[in-house]
Amino acid sequence: GAVVSQHPSRVICKSGTSVKIECRSLDFQATTMFWYRQFPKQSLMLMATSNEGSKATYEQGVEKDKFLINHASLTLSTLTVTSAHPEDSSFYICSARDGGAGDTQYFGPGTRLTVL
Amino acid sequence: DAKTTQPPSMDCAEGRAANLPCNHSTISGNEYVYWYRQIHSQGPQYIIHGLKNNETNEMASLIITEDRKSSTLILPHATLRDTAVYYCIVRVVSYGQNFVFGPGTRLSVLP
């Protein structure tokens, strides 16, 4: 199946700093990518939909100025957590739709963010 | 998208078939049934999907009832590495839409 990578897999940062997470589709082009967040023992919650070449669409309650999303190419989307705080500590997961495989979406391995 | 109901947890002996049920009684004619799983601290992994007919791939089989109100994911020979949370999702083909994850079924494969 199609492969989606994320980098870094784990990051620890101090409160107030910004963290960038990359999501790449390795063997297919993705016009749409999604960013999810998962807290311990909970299911994935959609944060935003990222469309190549246009502004991201954020879910209700997700601050667009805090979670900056850039989807500059068909294989790369980035999520930047600005001025991170301990409550932003979570597991961040991206997914990408393989346009050549119908509506099937493939997920990255996730990024564990810990804000001290 | 139609709502799904799955048991919160199941156990299965290693080497035996794992049968994971999913109820989707309000499914509409153009909604597909998708199965993903999430192993601890990893991103969800696509398993299989189908519309009406039963489907099989190298990972699993998907059995959809004739009325499409329920389905079963079958892992024919479960291994310890199949321990994960399994999500059943029904949705229309909608290229701009995300997948909505419920609580899923936590499958524990026991030695």
Grade residue B100 by pLDDT with cuts at 50, 70 and 90.
confident
| Contact status of B29 with chain A (Cβ, < 8 Å) | no
Asked if residue B84 has pLDDT above 90, the reply is yes
CB proximity B32 to A under 8 Å: yes
Between A28-37, B19-28, B74-83, the lowest mean confidence (pLDDT) is in A28-37
**Which residues have CB under 8 Å from A4's CB, separation 6+?**
A23, A24, A25, A26, A94, A95, A96, A106, A107, A108, A109, B43
Query: Does residue B53 have a pLDDT over 70?
Result: yes
Cα separations (Å) of A20 from A7, A47, A94, B46? 9, 15, 13, 26
**Mean pLDDT confidence for B87-94:** 86
Q: Which one has a higher pLDDT value, B2 or A44?
A: A44
- Quickly state the pLDDT bin for B93 (edges 50, 70, 90): confident
- Residues of chain A with Cβ-Cβ distance to B45 below 8 Å are 107
Task: Grade residue B95 by pLDDT with cuts at 50, 70 and 90.
Answer: low
Q: Are strands A19-25 and A76-81 parallel, antiparallel or unpaired?
A: antiparallel
- Contact residues for A35 (Cβ-Cβ < 8 A; gap 6+): A23, A46, A47, A48, A49, A50, A67, A69, A77, A79, A92, A93, A94
pLDDT of residue A101: 60
Q: What share of chain B has pLDDT > 70, as a percent?
A: 96
Flag if B95 and A97 touch (Cβ within 8 Å): yes
In this structure, what are the phi and psi dihedrals at residue A53, rounded to the nearest 5 degrees? 85, 5
For A19-54, write each residue's pLDDT tens digit.
Answer: 999 999 998 888 889 999 999 989 999 999 988 888
* Coil/strand/helix, residue B80: helix
Provide residues of A within 8 Å CB-CB of chain B.
Answer: 1, 4, 6, 32, 34, 36, 43-44, 46, 49, 51, 91, 93-95, 97, 99, 102-110, 112
Q: What is the pLDDT of residues A59-105, one digit of tens each?
A: 999 999 999 999 888 899 999 999 999 999 999 999 998 766 667 88
Q: What radius of gyration do chain A's Cα atoms show? A: 13
Residue B1's pLDDT is: 63
Q: What is the overall mean pLDDT for chain B?
A: 93
Most confident of A17-21, B88-92, B95-99: A17-21
pLDDT value of residue A41: 87
Pick from A32, A34, A106: CB nearest B46: A106
For A43, which of B43, B94, B103 is closest by C-beta distance? B103
| Residues A49-86 as b or e (16 or more Cβ within 10 Å = b) | bbbbeeebbbeeebeeeebbbebeebbbbbbebeebee
pLDDT at A106 over 80: yes
| DSSP letters for A34-56 | EEEEE-TTS--EEEEEEETTS--
Q: Is B36 on the interface with A (CB under 8 A)?
A: yes
Distance from CA of A92 to the nearest CA of B (A): 9
Average pLDDT over residues A54-58: 90
Higher pLDDT, B2 or B26: B26
Residue A1: predicted pLDDT: 65
